A and B are shown apart, each in its own frame.
Chain A
Amino acid sequence: MPTGPYAEIPRVDAYEKVRGRAIYGTDNNPSGVAYGAFVTATIGRGRITAMDLSEAQSIDGVRLIVNHEHTSDLQPARFIMQHGFAFQSYSPVLTPNVAYRGQPVALVVADTLESAIEAASRIRVSYEEHPFAATLDSERAEPVPQAEAATAWPIDDIVVGDAETVYADAAVKVDATYTMPTQHQNPMELIGTVAAWDGDHLTVYEGTQNAGACKFGLAEQLGIPPENVTVISPYTGGGFGQKNTMQSQQVLTAFAARELGRPVKVVVPRRQTFHDSSFRPATRQRVRLAADSAGRFTAALYDVDAQTSMHDFFQSEHADTAARHYGYGAFRSFTRLVRTDTPTPGYMRAPFEHATAFAIESAVDELAYEHGMDPVQIRLLNDTDTDIVDGLPHSSRHVSECLRRGAELFGWDRRTPEPRSMVAQNGDLIGMGVAIGLYAGSGGPNRASVRATRDGIIEISLGVHEMGQGIRTAIANVVARHLNVAPESVTAILGDTRGVPQMLTAGSWGSASSIPAAEAVCEALREALDALGTNAPEGASPAEILALADHDELSVEAATFAPGQNRDALGEIDTGHVAPSGPVYPDFITYSYAAHFVEVRVEQTTRRIRVPRVVSVFDCGRVLSPRTARSQAIGGVVWGVGGALREAGEVDPRYGGVLNADMAEYLVPVNADIGSIEVGFIDEPDPMVNRSGVKGLGEVVLVGVAPAITNAIYHATGVRARHLPVRIEDLV
């Protein structure tokens, strides 16, 4: 079998997608389907005291109104980080409680969507209102030291050496606080469920990153055996962590369909997705960074306040990544979770790392200026071979290589270090900034099965979801190489509980958990084909061998695990749970890396900031599908531009909820905001983390873009932006 870099192949599902043949969850319209719409809470916290349904019931076509009076048989959801299946432990509509403004309080189901929406608008709800805390800065917000938070998998503060003392005595230091607002991922495909019962069997069509959790979670909430639930999610129209786990509407949709005896579809409108799904929590991060006279980091103190909800501790992993950015002499973190009256925040793409990189990489830039050192040089100088936290070696860490290659592609040597020293012909200030990013290299167990036929069909089933990242293409490329077939002949059954168990696809472990399983099952197939004893020539395809053996088809199975895991981990994914492993493995640690180089232009009069050019180089282990990998990287950089310059949830603390809850007002970059993005890959397989040498890519691509931009803004203007997003008013 050939090794080395993979060939570039087109996205295997591109034609299906551009022709509208790719059927997403709520594209399904089972016959007789009814439509649901939510009534949402208008108060920040409290209790429903009365609900007047009379007007709504008189609307033509209304079939069912579900509120807390009807749902007593349903079990509440359990939070994924408490070994449950849902993005939070709080289940709207199952009780008369209101935990945050915008939560659903009733579901109206009607023959048409229009009737459902109109009826929902006619339901009058009376409340008893309670005081609430809508933001990280609210007076009523409740900070809890993370180390004391009762959680299933506690996370302690990190203490390496005596960072306080070293910092106090240091010659060169920086002390700065960086803040970020809430952000909301907005995949094009809205959250939504189609639920259809056939007797006591429930089929759910849903765009999700976690069909397994939906299956087992729905069974638990509905009180039915999991084998009676099928979840079908062959395509997800973008997830970005929003579709990690169960959403509020799922159990209610399934319940309504059961009550009505007909299929029900609920698509959560854009505005409601801002109010009743997970989001990136607001953070406040203080970094104290010290260096010796040569520029070596001697100590880092890292204090994080990260928003969570009143009902769950959404644990912060900011410090885990911060500690791995560089080889600091000493390190100490202190994290508090700040409870607010919101939905539980969640794993929006690079959930912690994006914020951490903003803080750490800004502080490093500040220190470089303090020290009079080049920002690339100071990063190279502080690169490390071993992990300061666990003392373990890195399985692979090519961050210096990313920096060197990026600097060259970007033309970093043309940069003059002084702020405001580079001016374009039209008078715009030019700034050049750099930052690195890292993201945990996780993996997990995966089952795989493959069926090969004499007609050349290769059908592989894996526990992973296609959400636009291109995993189908990567799988086709890998299977094609291993079985010596054309990528087009490979069919991958993904996100479908009728195949192998479906683990959550997130945390950038999709490839690292499923591709080794794909390789293993291909190898098993090869062995089974060899055992047919056909004396087929070297390199014969499965179809050729099957023909020689006069066999119609052959199926085999396999399972793989991350380092340090064993078959017990399969028990978790077989029951809809997550079982990731890493980045700290028994003998090494694994991260993916990025180096971003950004040029900004700032118009002197209006202070408009533009980003004409980004160069990003990534170390993600082996690149499985060059084209979709590059596309992931470009998308990640665009996210970074959004994170740095555009995106913010606007919350009026008097009301809670989100004011700019639509795509016109919640600003993400448009095409005109994006200039040239040049992407490079180290493409060196990681020798330890798994048999395929792959680490993650989908998250690290975004990590570090924001500080590279703000560092460039500093270089252009001399203004240090310590709050995101940076807008015109910050530079006026």
Chain B
Amino acid sequence: MQSFSYARPASLDSAIATFAEGGEGTRLLAGGTTLYDLMKLDVERPERIVDINGLAELSTIDTSGDELVFGALARMSDVAADPRLADEFPALSEALWKAASQQLRNMASLGGNLLQQTRCAYFRHGEPFACNKRSPGSGCSAIEGLNRGHALFGGSDACIATYPGDFAVALIAFDAEVDVAGPDGERTIPVSDLHRQPGDNPEAETVLMPGEIIIRIRVPADAVGRGSTYHKIRDRESYAFAVVSAAAAVRLEAGVVADARLALGGVATVPWRAREAEHSLIGTALTAETARAVGEIAFADAVTREHNAFKVELGANVVRDALLIASGRA
């Protein structure tokens, strides 16, 4: 691991200043579970680290109002355990507690969680693998390689790396936003716009500008939350990333779907909202058959690769099951 300088600013302003002044080789440190991991793999080689854990104001959790507000430093385990969240937004709570392991959730922050990086082995394991994301222009080893875990949606000829996180998938289903603060002040970004699809430059993963820090996440405390679930299918019962996941929420009126939300995880380069599938639900009575049909719509445009084609059939069923679980709670 190369030596790096370390700063632990006591205020947000000085954190932003230090981060912005540091320039390219500077990284923020929250829980460190992504950053240290990639540093040990030699994929991240920061020269300066700005530890934001001294910014107590970023740790708040407030689920009492008509907006759920989570500070960027709130820990995954604390948010997962929030009683109102578990009651009224089970999808958000489940997306957290079905992620990683208890030890990781105790360390990991929500801000860091949103910005976790792909599990693509060719990206993580450095030389000798060609990887456009790690080393722009070198090629993509996954497209013709082992791509069971790679994206069916949002890929390009340059990169098909899956966005691995769970929480962001659930957040976009509820139109959540992040507030970010930078050298030019604060701005708000919908979580669904935070991540970039790879296109020609997969190394640029988010729309954050140099020096910008995520300070909080806000979720409209909409009634659709109660009838929701985060259904995550993985290769083992815990401590594994999603093979396919679906965040689903429905609000029923007189037995008919009045509002529907559906987002997919484990299958796309960014948290993936399945809008067309959502629309097809409105006004229908949800049954196993209609739920399955919605799943098929959600996966209709999938671009499959040698090892991940099974996710189309699996995905349709995951959506089906997710919708049924969600409507059971609605």
Closest residue of B by beta carbon distance from A607: B314
Q: A606–B318 contact, CB under 8 A?
A: yes
B313 CB within 8 Å of chain A: yes
Inter-chain contacts of B1 with A (CB < 8 A): 114, 117-118
- The 8 Å CB contact of A667, one of B128, B240, B313, is B240
Q: A665–B237 contact, CB under 8 A?
A: no
Inter-chain contacts of B243 with A (CB < 8 A): 728
Q: How far is the CA of A118 from the CA of B1 in the complex (A)?
A: 5
Q: B129–A655 contact, CB under 8 A?
A: yes
Chain B 1-34 interface residues, beta-carbon cutoff 8 Å to A: 1-3
B321 CB within 8 Å of chain A: yes
Chain B 116-139 interface residues, beta-carbon cutoff 8 Å to A: 119, 121-122, 125, 127-129
A121/B236 contact (C-beta < 8 A), A655-B129, A659-B121 known:
no
Chain B 71-128 interface residues, beta-carbon cutoff 8 Å to A: 119, 121-122, 125, 127-128
Q: A610–B237 contact, CB under 8 A?
A: yes
Inter-chain contacts of A729 with B (CB < 8 A): 148, 310, 314
Inter-chain contacts of B235 with A (CB < 8 A): 646, 667, 727-728
Q: A728–B236 contact, CB under 8 A?
A: no
Chain A 632-668 interface residues, beta-carbon cutoff 8 Å to B: 646, 650, 652, 654-655, 659-661, 664-665, 667
A655/B128 contact (C-beta < 8 A), A660-B121, A673-B236 known:
yes
A453 CB within 8 Å of chain B: no
CB of B39, distance to nearest CB on chain A (Å): 10
Inter-chain contacts of A101 with B (CB < 8 A): 128
Q: How far is the CA of A669 from the CA of B121 in the complex (A)?
A: 21
Q: A121–B317 contact, CB under 8 A?
A: no
B320 CB within 8 Å of chain A: yes
A152 CB within 8 Å of chain B: no
Q: B125–A728 contact, CB under 8 A?
A: no
Inter-chain contacts of A605 with B (CB < 8 A): 317-318, 320-321
Q: B236–A672 contact, CB under 8 A?
A: yes
Count chain A residues whose beta carbon lies closer than 8 angstroms to a beta carbon of B.
33
- The 8 Å CB contact of B146, one of A43, A650, A673, is A650
B162 CB within 8 Å of chain A: no
A608 CB within 8 Å of chain B: yes
B141 CB within 8 Å of chain A: yes
Inter-chain contacts of A118 with B (CB < 8 A): 1-3
Closest residue of A by beta carbon distance from B101: A670
Q: A42–B128 contact, CB under 8 A?
A: yes
Chain B 283-330 interface residues, beta-carbon cutoff 8 Å to A: 310, 313-314, 317-318, 320-321
Inter-chain contacts of B321 with A (CB < 8 A): 605-606
A424 CB within 8 Å of chain B: no
Q: B236–A667 contact, CB under 8 A?
A: yes
B145 CB within 8 Å of chain A: yes
Q: How far is the CA of A606 from the CA of B237 in the complex (A)?
A: 13
Q: How far is the CA of A117 from the CA of B310 in the complex (A)?
A: 40
Q: B128–A728 contact, CB under 8 A?
A: no
Interface 0/1 of A604-626, CB less than 8 Å to B? 01111010000000000000000
A732/B239 contact (C-beta < 8 A), A655-B128, A655-B129 known:
no
Closest residue of B by beta carbon distance from A604: B317
Chain B 35-90 interface residues, beta-carbon cutoff 8 Å to A: 42
Closest residue of B by beta carbon distance from A672: B237
Closest residue of B by beta carbon distance from A42: B128
B233 CB within 8 Å of chain A: yes
Q: A732–B236 contact, CB under 8 A?
A: no
B188 CB within 8 Å of chain A: no
Q: A732–B145 contact, CB under 8 A?
A: no
Interface 0/1 of B225-246, CB less than 8 Å to A? 0000000010111111001000
CB of B2, distance to nearest CB on chain A (Å): 5
Closest residue of A by beta carbon distance from B314: A732
Task: Name the interface size band of chain B.
Answer: 20 to 34
Chain A 464-522 interface residues, beta-carbon cutoff 8 Å to B: none
Inter-chain contacts of A606 with B (CB < 8 A): 233, 314, 317-318, 321
Chain A 674-732 interface residues, beta-carbon cutoff 8 Å to B: 727-729, 732
Chain A 98-128 interface residues, beta-carbon cutoff 8 Å to B: 101, 114, 117-118, 121
Q: How far is the CA of A673 from the CA of B235 in the complex (A)?
A: 10
Q: How far is the CA of A347 from the CA of B148 in the complex (A)?
A: 29
Interface 0/1 of B203-226, CB less than 8 Å to A? 000000000000000000000000
- The 8 Å CB contact of B236, one of A43, A650, A669, is A669
Q: How far is the CA of A525 from the CA of B47 in the complex (A)?
A: 66
Looking at A101, A605, A732, which has the most chain B CB atoms within 10 Å of its CB? A605
Q: B145–A652 contact, CB under 8 A?
A: yes
Looking at B121, B127, B243, which has the most chain A CB atoms within 10 Å of its CB? B121
Chain A 403-423 interface residues, beta-carbon cutoff 8 Å to B: none
Interface 0/1 of B138-167, CB less than 8 Å to A? 000100111010000000000000000000
Q: How far is the CA of A38 from the CA of B44 in the complex (A)?
A: 19
Q: A728–B237 contact, CB under 8 A?
A: no
Q: How far is the CA of A43 from the CA of B3 in the complex (A)?
A: 28
Q: A670–B128 contact, CB under 8 A?
A: no
Q: B236–A659 contact, CB under 8 A?
A: no
Inter-chain contacts of A117 with B (CB < 8 A): 1
CB of B321, distance to nearest CB on chain A (Å): 5
Q: How far is the CA of A605 from the CA of B121 in the complex (A)?
A: 29
Inter-chain contacts of A610 with B (CB < 8 A): 237
A728/B310 contact (C-beta < 8 A), A42-B127, A605-B320, A667-B240 known:
yes
CB of A183, distance to nearest CB on chain B (Å): 15
Chain A 191-234 interface residues, beta-carbon cutoff 8 Å to B: none
Q: A670–B238 contact, CB under 8 A?
A: yes
Inter-chain contacts of B145 with A (CB < 8 A): 652, 654
Q: How far is the CA of A101 from the CA of B129 in the complex (A)?
A: 12
Interface 0/1 of A587-606, CB less than 8 Å to B? 00000000000000000011
Q: A43–B128 contact, CB under 8 A?
A: yes
Looking at A117, A271, A672, A729, which has the most chain B CB atoms within 10 Å of its CB? A729
Closest residue of B by beta carbon distance from A44: B128
Q: How far is the CA of A303 from the CA of B326 in the complex (A)?
A: 51
Closest residue of B by beta carbon distance from A729: B310
Q: How far is the CA of A271 from the CA of B235 in the complex (A)?
A: 21
Inter-chain contacts of B237 with A (CB < 8 A): 610, 670, 672-673
CB of B211, distance to nearest CB on chain A (Å): 28
Q: How far is the CA of A729 from the CA of B312 in the complex (A)?
A: 11
Q: A665–B119 contact, CB under 8 A?
A: yes
Q: How far is the CA of A252 from the CA of B316 in the complex (A)?
A: 54
A665/B236 contact (C-beta < 8 A), A652-B146, A655-B128 known:
no
CB of A211, distance to nearest CB on chain B (Å): 31
Closest residue of B by beta carbon distance from A43: B128
Q: How far is the CA of A655 from the CA of B243 in the complex (A)?
A: 24
A608/B233 contact (C-beta < 8 A), A114-B1, A665-B119 known:
yes
Q: A732–B310 contact, CB under 8 A?
A: yes
Interface 0/1 of A149-191, CB less than 8 Å to B? 0000000000000000000000000000000000000000000
Inter-chain contacts of B233 with A (CB < 8 A): 606, 608, 728
CB of B65, distance to nearest CB on chain A (Å): 35
12 sampled A-B residue pairs with Cβ under 8 A: A101-B128, A118-B3, A271-B125, A605-B318, A608-B233, A654-B141, A659-B121, A669-B236, A727-B235, A728-B233, A728-B310, A729-B148
Interface residues of B (CB under 8 A from A): 1-3, 42, 119, 121-122, 125, 127-129, 141, 144-146, 148, 233, 235-240, 243, 310, 313-314, 317-318, 320-321
Nearest first, the 6 closest Cβ-Cβ pairs linking A and B are A672-B237, A729-B310, A605-B317, A42-B128, A659-B121, A672-B238
Taking A43-B128, A118-B3, A606-B321 as known contacts, 7 extra A-B pairs with beta carbons closer than 8 A to each other, sorted by chain A number, are A605-B320, A654-B145, A655-B141, A664-B239, A728-B235, A728-B243, A732-B310
